[in-house]
Structure 1
Amino acid sequence: MQLDLFDRKIIAALQEDARMPVAQVAERTALSATPVSRRIKRLEDDGVVIGYAPVLDPRKLGFELEAYVLINLNAHIDENITRFEQAIRDNPYVIACHAVTGDMDYIVHIIARDVEHLSQITLKTLVRIPGVRDVKSSIVLEAIKEQRALPLE
């Protein structure tokens, strides 16, 4: 899909504040509200904008710790992959999981209340998923950069 300058300005405004009123987006794009509404609808229909969600502070919700867990499966058979990926989808403390290249098969982003909770998540659930061979954890000390906005070059 080709995005023109107006589409990019609309997306930039929505990335800044997804609850921004259409009239305010229109002001920023030098368009009137009606074409902005149509463009937003088209961006949604075309799957460029896939949803709107609040950005939450995990600490305010009791999650003081974040970790990245690298996981290897013992065999890359469909049964292991399906079982592992379903267990990850079902785990509410896994906030992201990606299949990756390199020495490990998956990188899993976890939130936890504290180190004991992380230990429970890792030792009582992740390690026990049938087909999991290796698990390596790294605890996040500080977020240097964290953004959801994508570059619009």
Structure 2
Amino acid sequence: MHLDAFDRAIIRSLQEDARMPVAQVAERAALSPTPVSRRIKRLEDDGLILGYQPVLDARRLGFELDAYVLINLDGHSDENISRFEQAIQDNAYVIACHAVTGDMDYLVHVIARDVEHLSQITLKSLVRIPGVRDVKSIIVLETIKDARALPLE
């Protein structure tokens, strides 16, 4: 998809604050509000803008611990993969899951209240998914960068 300078300015503004009024986005993009509204609608219709959601503070919600869990399956049958992926979809504490290359099959991003809660999520849920062979956890000590805005080159 080709983005011109106006599209990039609009997207940059919305990535900074998706609730920014169209008039303010228009001012930043050096356009009037009507063409900015049309461009935003086109970006949404074309699937570049997938939606809008608030960014919540996990710590204020009681989730003090951020962890990544590396998981290997004991086999890669369609049934095994489907069962695993459904269990991941159903787990509210799993906030992201990626199939990856390398020694492990999946990288699972988990939030938890504390180490004990992470232990419960891992031992009572993730390890018990049929077909899971190996599980390794990595606890985040400090977040150096957590950018949500994508580069618009």
Normalised by the length of structure 2, the TM-score is 0.99
Percent identical residues: 82
Counterpart residue number, 2:61: 61
1:147 Cα offset (Å):
1.1
1:37 Cα offset (Å):
0.1
Aligned residue type for 2:28: R
SS for the counterpart of 1:42 is helix
Counterpart residue number, 2:120: 120
Counterpart residue number, 2:28: 28
Give CA deviations for 1:27-68 in whole Å, capped at 9, x if unaligned.
001100000000000000000000101111100000000100
Alignment size in residue pairs: 153
Aligned residue type for 2:128: R
1:6 Cα offset (Å):
0.4
CA distance in 1, matches of 2:147, 2:60: 18
CA distance in 1, matches of 2:73, 2:56: 32
Counterpart residue number, 1:11: 11
Normalised by the length of structure 1, the TM-score is 0.99
Alignment of 1:86-101 (within 5 A): 86-101=86-101
Structure 1 residues without counterparts, runs of 5 or longer? none
Aligned residue type for 1:44: E
Counterpart residue number, 2:46: 46
Counterpart residue number, 2:111: 111
